[in-house]
Structure 1
Amino acid sequence: MVTSHASARIERQRGAAYIGGDQMLVRFGPGPRDGLIIMGIATDATGSSLPFRHQYTAGLIAQHFVPNRPADYMSVFFSNLQVNPNLTRTQELQQSLGLALSNGVHTVETNIQVLEINYSAKLYPGVSIVPDCQIIFRPDAGDYYNTALVTGFRILADL
């Protein structure tokens, strides 16, 4: 595509496989999720044109750790996402030829890491607010930007 200037092929077959697990480490209350839980998941995407090939996530979830707040929980997750090596190789070739990189990025894309922390507080029956903070290391999957801080919140309502 880079040297022939031909259009990119359209891929119709994509797939993914994943494995994950969790384990209660410490129990805080009588409920099935009342405690500190460690979890992990690994994903592998098989499509040759997908932007990310692998993702690895590990985290901790603590529910009912605040007395009299059994529905509240806090979670901390760390994820590492690996850019599809086909994209990385294409961008390396473009860079070596002095061409603009795919996707309009400034540097060759390889991986991204994300640290996410959130807290879910139940306000009323069926209504929760979830403030969220993410620190994204290498947000462009390269070395052009160092880190990004993203904050926000969700309001969850079961009607």
Structure 2
Amino acid sequence: MEKATFAAGCFWGVEHCFNKHYRQLGIQTKVGYSGGATEKPLYPEVKKDITGHAESIEIIFDPSKVGYAELVEFFYKMHDPTTLNYQGPDVGSQYRSVIFYHSEEQKEIAEKVTEAVQNAHYQEQKIVTLIVPAVQFWDAEEYHQLYLEKNPEGYECPTHFLRW
């Protein structure tokens, strides 16, 4: 099993989208916070953009069932990687686009997929997604886990819709 960590705006929608498309392949997800300096951050702090953390998703996956490159490409389909620090109505660095890589191999794959997506889908705009080493992932509070499954009429995250 391998781990992938992404940030692409509201973590509720990101988790929901990955589960909708990859749960049948055995992925496991959890939402949380990554990329900041505050230890044990809480949602009210992260939401105010004072921790440095991005709302993130951690995915455990079997690479024999779904490859990391496919997950990275799907990550790009679910949000606008050309907007700096916002997705839809969510504004602030906590909603930035980030690929947190867990190995040099993941870094190389993320860079190659990013270049391919840039050339194929965003020729007129620059992808601003950060590709950085994975750091401590702090689990979000329990009520955030699988939020849109528990609350199907919940917040309409812009990440529900695939772009291409």
Short-chain TM bin: under 0.3
Higher strand share: 1
Relative to total residues, which structure has the larger helix share, 1 or 2? 2
TM-score by length of 2: 0.26
Higher RCO (C-alpha under 8 Å, 6+ residues apart): 2
Please identify the structure whose Cα radius of gyration is greater: 1
| Superposition TM-score, scaled by structure 1 size | 0.26
